[in-house]
A and B are shown apart, each in its own frame.
Chain A
Amino acid sequence: MRNACARAREILDAPSFVLALLLLLGLGQAAALALQFQEGFRPFQTAPGRVALSWDMFATHIERCSLGWDPPLPAAEGPFFDLRQKSLALEWQAIADSRNGYRNIAAWACSHYHQPFHALLHCYLPNGKEETSAIECR
């Protein structure tokens, strides 16, 4: 057993293994960045999309909305007034990246709670404007 461990450590410490590991990480991330270009990202022209390992944090197009319900949803843990109730104040927030994402959440609530209500959306847009809309759920 000890010999097997020593042998494994020898293999993992070998320069060829180091090279393989660094190539795997380096090429994987270079390919992710190349994929951003292939999918339409152009500096100063087009925003990137989401590609794992391309490090696109804060670089993509986003929209954020407050989502509330009137009357509140009858959740097991008490009346559910808005999406903020699902969020913690720090770090973890119930968010989507587009108005459609929030509409999907509203649609999920429509199908989950079988009673009429309005889903109210107040959205913040990258052009500096705000937009309010309502979705009726019967």
Chain B
Amino acid sequence: MLSNAAERFRAWCIQSETGGALWRFRFAFTALWLTYDLADLIFHGTASILFGSDAHGLFTLQLLLIGAQFLVLANMGARLACFLCFTLRLAEAKFFFGLNDFYYYCAMMLLLSSVSLEGPGQPAKVWPRSALLAQMAWMYFATALLKLNPDWLSGGHLFVRQAYLAGGQGWPYPGFYTACCLNLGAASALAKLGVLAEFTMAILLTMKRWPRLTLALGFSIHLFAALALNVWFFGASMVLGTYFLLPRSSTEPT
């Protein structure tokens, strides 16, 4: 039985498909994070909140990340460049900002660094695409599980973020939204809906059927996070993953 499983795993590891989906995802994912790093560098996004810490170290890391991402986009030593991106972002997370967004980038880039992609029409292994989807499904599951706590379910966490954005940052919530949703009761309802949506995303990404439904749900979750909570790049890269990596038809190998 064990040898049977090993044999199936070996077969899965060498199974190939046309690499278009992976190629496009790697390009879009890298381009999105390159945009993040360029904007961060030009507008001093993260550097401005270091409060006297090592801004030079961060600047160097950002420059190296930008360079490595250009190499991925140009397909010049892309595998090695992906691994370099993973290492540099890990350093940024470890020494500067331990953000979930950065660890997520690291996990995705580490997986992308294990893919040989010669071009969009060339064959690629099937397993990296499955592993990337599993990674995203696990993230939705884990974050939904951790949100099963009084702080989130009571709406307290959402209330704090939104009240701060409205009162402290002048975030332009529409009048109807301010009237209906900037209170604990509405935030609690939204929070519970959010957990349900994230558990559903985990299931849908694992099943790999209904790509349109999965994409619509993922897009809705992250559009809300962008407009109501000011989280843009992480959500966009999750939506890109769902869009490019999910098989479009039931005949595609996974």
Contact = CB atoms under 8 A, between A and B. Distances in A.
B151 to A, nearest CB: 4
Interface size class of A (residues with CB under 8 A): 35 or more
B167 interface: yes
Contacts of A105: 51
Contact of A43 (B145, B159, B164, B234): B145
Nearest to B142: A55
A130 interface: yes
A45 B149 contact: yes
Contact of A124 (B43, B98, B164, B233): B164
B95 interface: no
A110 interface: no
Interface in B134-153: 135, 138-139, 142-143, 145-153
Interface in A82-118: 84, 86-95, 105, 108, 112
Contacts of B49: 86-87, 92-95
A54 B107 contact: no
Given A59-B146, A122-B167, A12 B114 contact: yes
Contacts of B149: 41-48, 59
Q: Interface of chain B, helix or strand or loop or mixed?
A: helix
A50 interface: yes
Given A90-B232, A91-B230, A125-B160, A54 B48 contact: no
Contacts of B148: 43-44
Q: Name the 5 nearest CB pairs between A and B, nearest first.
A: A126-B156, A92-B45, A64-B164, A66-B168, A59-B146
8 contacts: A33-B142, A47-B152, A58-B147, A66-B164, A91-B233, A92-B40, A92-B46, A124-B163
Interface of B: 9-10, 13-14, 36, 39-40, 43, 45-46, 48-49, 51-52, 79, 93, 98, 100, 103-104, 107, 110-111, 114, 116, 125, 127, 131, 135, 138-139, 142-143, 145-154, 156-161, 163-164, 167-169, 183-184, 194, 229-234
